């Protein structure tokens, strides 16, 4: 008899908008953001095992100093096993393609993919709502990736409202090789009162990301590349999360030219596109 195997897609995300509304009493920041899963993804393969095991392949250079137990994919499996009192385990084969600590949500997406995949592998009777509750214990972006597609997130990012799928368009995603240590914490710490949008104001109809206001304070080199990229492509770039990755909406016939120009700045650059909730949560089950 063949060994059961579940293969799950873990897509990256961009933020069409990201407004920081202020600091909360619990120490987190109140945000309002429109999130979008994109074609760039990690791949997770799950098979039965006596305990929880994690093997990482692919682009794992920036994960070298992270212990297996600290990885969000491992933590997701351990938490689901505990919450559901599941006796067995799973071998998690994580193939990395999404750059780490770039604002593209790779770790959070890996965690959500593990939750969805193990629900199938372990044949757990648990609803999407309950799965999202477990996801929220792992991080603010994880509940979004349980569903994927296009969605508005509020609170600290854990309250998710599904939105109609975004029409197909081509994106160019770019990011620098060098990363800033503790980048997200430093970006939030750089925000001042004048950067916050009033919670009573309606959602901004323009594509805006509050973190673009302080990128130069935290990472001047990344900020200079961000500005130069916009000048070269003649498009307004948008930061992904707290960066340093950013995206541009580029006509299909200009994608190759845009990628070449961005690579000329020393950036990694790829073509991608928005994907629907159905595409974002696709999985295959064998055995």
Q: Which residues are catalytic?
A: 13, 141
CA dist 38 and 11 (Å) reads 6
Q: What is the DSSP letter of 59?
A: S
Closest CA to 229 of 241, 218, 217, 243: 243
Helices (H), the chain: 72-83, 106-121, 128-138, 142-147, 183-190, 215-218, 220-233, 255-263, 277-280
Closest CA to 70 of 47, 97, 100: 100
CA dist 168 and 150 (Å) reads 12
- Please list, residue by residue across 169-192, b when 16 or more beta carbons sit within 10 angstroms of its beta carbon and e when fewer do: ebbbbbbbeebbeebeeebbebbe
CB neighbourhood size of 224 (10 A): 14
Helices (H), 122-167: 128-138, 142-147
Q: Are strands 89-96 and 52-58 parallel, antiparallel or unpaired?
A: parallel
């Amino acid at each position: 008899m063949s060994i059961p195997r579940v293969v799950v897609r873990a897509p990256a995300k961009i933020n069409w908008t990201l407004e920081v509304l202020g600091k909360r009493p619990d120490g987190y920041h109140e945000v309002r953001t429109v999130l979008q899963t994109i074609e760039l993804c990690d791949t997770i393969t799950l098979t039965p095992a006596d305990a929880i095991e994690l093997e990482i392949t692919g682009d794992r250079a920036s994960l070298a100093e992270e212990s297996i137990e600290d990885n969000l994919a491992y933590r997701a499996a351990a938490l689901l096993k505990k919450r559901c009192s599941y006796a067995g385990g799973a071998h998690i084969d994580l193939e990395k393609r999404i750059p780490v600590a770039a604002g593209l949500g790779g770790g959070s997406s890996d965690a959500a993919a593990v939750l969805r995949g193990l629900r199938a592998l372990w044949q757990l009777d648990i609803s999407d709502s309950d799965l999202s509750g477990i996801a929220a214990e792992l991080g603010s972006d994880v509940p979004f990736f349980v569903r994927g597609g296009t969605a508005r997130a509020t609170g600290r990012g854990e309250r998710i409202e599904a939105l109609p799928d975004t029409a197909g368009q081509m994106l160019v995603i770019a990011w620098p090789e060098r990363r800033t240590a503790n980048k997200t914490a430093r970006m939030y710490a750089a925000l001042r009162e004048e950067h916050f949008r009033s919670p009573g104001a309606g959602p901004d109809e323009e594509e805006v990301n509050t973190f673009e206001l302080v990128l130069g304070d935290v990472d001047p080199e990344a900020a200079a590349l961000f500005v130069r990229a916009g000048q070269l492509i003649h498009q307004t770039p948008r930061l992904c999360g707290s960066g340093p990755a950013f995206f541009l909406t580029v006509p299909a016939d200009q994608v190759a030219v845009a990628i070449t120009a961005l690579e000329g700045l020393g950036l990694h650059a790829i073509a991608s596109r928005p994907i629907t909730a159905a595409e974002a949560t696709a999985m295959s089950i064998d055995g």
